[in-house]
Amino acid sequence: MQTPWEYRYAHRMKRMGSSIIRELLKLTQQPEIISFAGGLPAPEVFPVKEFQAACNTVLEQHGAQALQYSTTEGYQPLRAMIAERSVRYGINIGLDNILITSGSQQALDLVGRVFLNRGDRIVVENPTYLGAIQAWNAYGAEYITVPVDEHGMLTSELEKALRTGPKFIYVLPNFQNPSGATLSLERRKELVELADHYGVPIIEDDPYGQLRFEGDHISPVSVLDSEFRGGNGNAYSGNVIYMSTFSKLLAPGIRLAWVVAPKNVIRKLVAAKQAEDLHTSTLNQMVAYEVSRDGFLDEHIEVIRKTYHERRDVMLEAMEELFPPEVSWTHPEGGMFLFGVLPEGMDAAKVLELAIEKKVAFVPGFAFHPTGGGENTMRINFSYSSPEIIREGIMRLGTVLKEEIYKKK
């Protein structure tokens, strides 16, 4: 049906069709398919009972407040809890440095809204997080990509990118989505120094930082930047906007994330959010706070770590056994994803088609390369499926890969 609306779409919509990924993912939603495609947390460990108790407590004690409008900035005790937790990671921030958002997708969107003019360049890792690209495409961003290896962004290639005059650098330092790579301490320091040299600020997107199940914690870029600026290492420098989310710590269905930024920037983000959705659900903020308090969040994060650790181990073992030697993959120390690399010239999108016939799915890596490339790569999620299902899925995928690789030869 043709309506007058059809002739009226804004220019920005040209870059905002439903993504190829989304179309592919629809295919993977048939129930018999084992999907390593999505980025879903393990539902078995959702703290359902604790949420139930928290809903009861919040509605019983503060029902009218929980159901009423609230401030754009976010529920104060929740922000206080975030501030307190951030001190552990070596950085002092106040409530004025924190904005609660409706998931980290909104945090990315608000950053775009506040900072991006059409044509602005952003330095990103290659591959990088697809949600950020989708958010910033709406504002007409262009991307300058920096290659990545198993230690994250190749800071040796960063300088060239910084000389293009980008608006900011976007980095996912821990167990990056999609590559699973973690930016090494040395490179974090190089990143901070180079960003300072060129006067370019940094967005640090850290959804998985607390989901490390192996190796040692590495200081966030925001902390290293504060240290680099000397004197008082634990005072927030403001050069880095940090964001994280409750989606991976508690549950994504409540849409709760946060941004840490200089006060003036928070004020702008608040004005932008006010125009966008007024505020994030009062009920969800109060319930998340109630669930998390008194040490539960830390206990629960331990459970998630253990679960994902086991699942990653099962997946790596199965891949070792069942994947052809021509395929390589990353060994993430946390998070939810690993990244497979097929022989040069192979097309992972084609492999996906065959995989779906064999009832297993992943995401072809080209989707995460905003300036092209990565056709022979694949993102594989290990957080969602149970160990048994992971083994079965990797077996199926191994069969497909062997068929494709040995047919080719």
Interface of this chain with a copy of itself, residues 226 to 285, rule: CB under 8 A: 237-239, 241, 247, 250-255, 261-265, 267-268, 270-272, 274-284
Q: Which is nearer to a copy of itself, 153 or 249 (CB)?
A: 249
Strand 142-149 to 121-126 pairing: parallel
Give me the least distance between CB of 232 and a copy of itself, in Å please: 13
Nearer to a copy of itself, 56 or 328 (CB): 56
Indicate whether 94 belongs to the interface with a copy of itself (CB under 8 A): no
Give least dist CB 258 to a copy of itself, A: 14
Q: Cβ closer to a copy of itself: 4 or 325?
A: 4
**Per CB under 8 A, 354 contacts a copy of itself:** no
Q: Does 138 bind a copy of itself (CB under 8 A)?
A: yes
Phi, psi of 138 (to 5 degrees): -60, -25
Nearer to a copy of itself, 9 or 406 (CB): 9
φ and ψ at 360, to 5 degrees? -145, 150
Q: According to the binding rule CB under 8 A, does residue 109 interact with a copy of itself? A: yes
Residues 14-33, interacting with a copy of itself (CB under 8 A): 16-18, 22
End-to-end CA distance of the chain: 50
Of the candidates 36, 82, 93, 113, which one interacts with a copy of itself according to CB under 8 A? 113
The Cα diameter of the chain in Å comes to 68
Of 401, 213, 233, 407, whose CA–CA distance to 307 is shortest? 213
Q: How far is the CB of 110 from a copy of itself (least distance, A)?
A: 9
In angstroms, rounded to a whole number, what is the distance separating the alpha carbons of residues 247 and 209? 12
Q: Are 305 and 41 in contact (CB under 8 A)?
A: no
Any idea what the Cα angle at residue 214 is, between residues 209 and 215, rounded to 5°? 85
Burial readout 3-18 (b: 16 or more C-beta within 10 A, e: otherwise):
eeeeeeeeeeeeeeee
Q: Number of residues interacting with a copy of itself: please give it, by CB under 8 A.
A: 90
Rounded to a whole number of angstroms, the minimum distance from the CB of residue 29 to a copy of itself is 10
The stretch among 4-12, 86-94, 144-152, 185-193 that binds a copy of itself (CB under 8 A) is 4-12
CA angle (204, 207, 213) in 5-degree steps: 115
